[in-house]
């Protein structure tokens, strides 16, 4: 089983703030994500700056596309240089399909289905049918603040998605001690934001995540 990647989610409200985090964290990361908050505040400079600074990292434009899939893939992947872009689960299937077709025009381009709310495995099968290979299982920060914790229901859903052939990334207030919950599942990437960024020593926090990942996936 491949070692899961470590992904930093940047949800800052300015590019400069986001770069304060990447400056100290980038060397420990596999994937750097420009989150929705950063994208709608900094605009396309966010992904462009990350691409310019970190040519060897996977860059994700987490804009949770609901429509205009091809256009946004062209802008975010083709023009700004993202590798992956997220499409929200409630988007129509043609949005997944057209976004993926555009994404695949670029060497590392790919689309990730962002799972929020009441998506179904029937919908997931539809995304699979049009070629989507990646999904992000998400415990939202608002749901989390409202008390939703990681549980067996989440683990079972993630395992089922993996069995369907999805490369599943996992996110939502992940702490180092949560990682072992996902043991045995071929997780694509663990995504952390404030638990890395706001740590007293962010690089040390990232190394703790990586040590824990290697402990359970090697």
Q: How many residues bind a copy of itself (CB under 8 A)?
A: 49
> Which of 92, 108, 183, 184 is in the footprint of a copy of itself by CB under 8 A?
92
Tell me how far apart the terminal alpha carbons of the chain are, to the nearest angstrom: 7
85 to each of 2, 22, 77, 89, 99, how far by Cα in Å? Answer: 22, 19, 7, 13, 9
Nearer Cβ to a copy of itself (2/145): 145
Query: Are 193 and 8 contacting, i.e. CB atoms less than 8 angstroms apart?
Result: yes
> Which of 5, 24, 53, 71 is in the footprint of a copy of itself by CB under 8 A?
71
SS (H, E, C) 109-158: CEEEEEECCCCCHHHHHHHHHCCCCEEEEECCHHHHHCCCCCCHHHHHHH
**Closest distance to a copy of itself from the beta carbon of 158 (Å):** 18
Return the DSSP state at 84: E
126 binds a copy of itself (CB under 8 A): no
Placement of tokens 């990942």 in the chain = 213
Rule CB under 8 A: which of 18-37 touch a copy of itself?
A: 36-37
45 binds a copy of itself (CB under 8 A): yes
114 binds a copy of itself (CB under 8 A): yes
Nearer Cβ to a copy of itself (7/208): 7
Q: Which stretch binds a copy of itself (CB under 8 A): 49-57, 143-151, 158-166, 184-192?
A: 143-151
16 to each of 47, 110, 140, 155, 215, how far by Cα in Å? Answer: 13, 27, 25, 36, 34
Nearer Cβ to a copy of itself (41/164): 41
Question: Interface residues with a copy of itself (CB under 8 A)?
Answer: 11, 13, 36-37, 39-46, 61, 63-72, 75-76, 88-92, 94-95, 97-98, 114, 116-120, 123, 138, 140-143, 145-146, 148
């Amino acid at each position: 089983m491949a070692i899961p990647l470590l992904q930093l989610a940047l949800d800052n409200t300015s590019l400069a703030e986001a770069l304060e985090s990447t400056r100290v964290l980038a060397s420990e990361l596999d994937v750097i994500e420009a989150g929705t908050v950063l994208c709608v505040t900094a605009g396309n400079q966010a992904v462009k700056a990350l691409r310019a600074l970190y040519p060897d990292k996977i860059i994700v434009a987490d804009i949770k596309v609901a429509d205009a899939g091809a256009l946004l893939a062209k802008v975010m992947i083709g023009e700004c240089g993202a590798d992956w872009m997220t499409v929200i689960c409630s988007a129509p299937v043609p949005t997944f399909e057209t976004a993926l077709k555009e994404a695949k025009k670029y060497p590392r381009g790919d689309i990730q289905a962002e799972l929020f709310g009441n998506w179904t495995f029937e919908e997931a099968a539809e995304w699979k049918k049009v070629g989507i290979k990646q999904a992000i299982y998400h415990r939202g920060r608002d749901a989390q603040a409202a008390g939703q914790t990681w549980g067996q229901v989440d683990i079972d859903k993630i395992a089922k998605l993996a069995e369907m052939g999805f490369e599943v990334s996992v996110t939502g207030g992940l702490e180092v001690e949560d990682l072992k919950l996902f043991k045995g599942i071929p997780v694509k990437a663990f995504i952390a934001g404030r638990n890395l960024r706001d740590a007293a020593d962010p690089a040390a926090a990232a190394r703790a995540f990586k040590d824990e990942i290697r402990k359970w996936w090697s």
